[in-house]
Amino acid sequence: MVESFDKQYQPKADRPMAGAVSGKLEMKVILLPKFYGHCPGLKRSLRIADELILESKKDCNPTSPRLRGARKIYYDVPLAHNEEVEKRLKKGGFKEVNIDEIKDGKSQYFLISAHGASPAKIALLESKNYVIKSAVCPTVEHVQKIAMADHAAAYKIVIFGKKDHPEIKGVNGCVSDSSIVVSHADDGLMIKLDQKTSVICQTTISSDKFAEFVQNLKKSNPKVEIITRNTICPIVEDRVRKCSAYVETEKPDLVVVVGSKTSSNTKQLASKLSKIVPTLLVADEEEIKEEDFKNIKTVLVVSGTSAPPEIVERVAERLRTYERRKKAK
């Protein structure tokens, strides 16, 4: 399903002509390496997952009742918020489980996703005899360490992010679930603090919204010491900033953002760009239709950091087939 992030966007012939060359409308597809592909943290996590698949196949032990076949790999949170990535890992032998329903992991592997996990969850997995492997993003680990250090220094922890997001669950769990978690900038006006406070944020959150939240929190608590920890992933922030700057300057007729609707960084990117030019969010090339690009002259293809680069390239190639057809007419 194609999702428009711009209410003014009108697909097909209803949208005004973008421009014509020699009496014919031609479309230019722009795909720049700096605007798509996995971030280093996710590349690392996927490499760990691939290595674990190979390792699991070597672990067959005919003499062990537990390991007569290849060691299984379990998880409860997808490694990344992208359906294509999850399908590939399942094909390699990954199996999703509800750990609360498992009594004994029987020395099988359990992979902690890039989003991290709380100490309590790790302890639970150990108690159930899983062999724990970590693919936690180093940036997320850094956020957890900041939260624990500030908590140990007697700061109240306030987290700006989605309460049910696995990353936030893990960070909050690192401070014994004692933090205040909010997701709207206006929430800062409602919170009343009675002790020194450290404010951190989800790594994929909007920097503008985080800044607004901190401003509101300080406004409603002028006498309280509040320190701000900008824990937004620099890679995510850099892509949003550079994509926005490019779109502001070049003004393509349309931007196609490739990625999952469940990905926070992808939705943030699409939302930001939609404030500049019409923007579509698609999961893959099957979600785009030629008639929707009938009156488009220039289209920029970008992606969130969780979208596999090969999917982004397939989307661009599908659009180039439309481009070639236009030129042939």
Q: Based on the domain organization, do 267 and 219 belong to the same domain?
A: no
pLDDT at 7 over 50: no
Q: Based on the domain organization, do 15 and 103 belong to the same domain?
A: no
Helix then strand then coil, in percent of the chain rounded to 5, is: 45, 15, 40
- CATH number reported for the structural domain that contains residue 264 in this entry: 3.40.1010.20
**pLDDT mean across residues, the chain:** 89
d(CA 83, CA 307): 9
Tell me the percentage of the chain whose pLDDT exceeds 90: 79
What average pLDDT score do residues 185-197 get?
97
Q: Specify the pLDDT at position 65.
A: 52
d(CA 269, CA 257): 8
Q: Based on the domain organization, do 68 and 98 belong to the same domain?
A: yes
pLDDT level of residue 306 (50, 70, 90 thresholds): very high
- CATH number reported for the structural domain that contains residue 66 in this entry: 3.40.50.11270
Nearest residue to 17 (alpha-carbon basis) of 252, 253, 327: 253
What average pLDDT score do residues 267-275 get?
96
pLDDT at 16 over 50: no
The gap from C-alpha 215 to its chain's centroid, in whole angstroms, comes to: 25
The pLDDT tens digits for 43-102 are: 999 999 999 999 988 865 555 555 455 689 999 999 888 888 999 999 999 999 999 999
Instruction: Domain of residue 307: give its range.
Output: 3-39+234-328
The pLDDT tens digits for 148-182 are: 999 999 999 999 999 999 999 999 999 999 999 99
- CA quadruple 124, 130, 132, 135: dihedral, nearest 10: -90
Q: Which two tokens stand for residue 200?
A: 């951190």
Q: Based on the domain organization, do 216 and 280 belong to the same domain?
A: no
Number of domains in the chain: 3
Last residue of a domain, one of 209, 228, 247: 228
Helix ranges (DSSP H) in 93-154? 119-127, 138-152
Region of 158 please: left (phi>0), alpha (psi -120 to 50) or beta.
beta
d(CA 49, CA 134): 9
Q: Based on the domain organization, do 45 and 35 belong to the same domain?
A: no
pLDDT level of residue 294 (50, 70, 90 thresholds): confident
The pLDDT tens digits for 120-138 are: 999 999 999 999 999 999 9
pLDDT level of residue 237 (50, 70, 90 thresholds): very high
Higher pLDDT: 234 or 3? It is 234
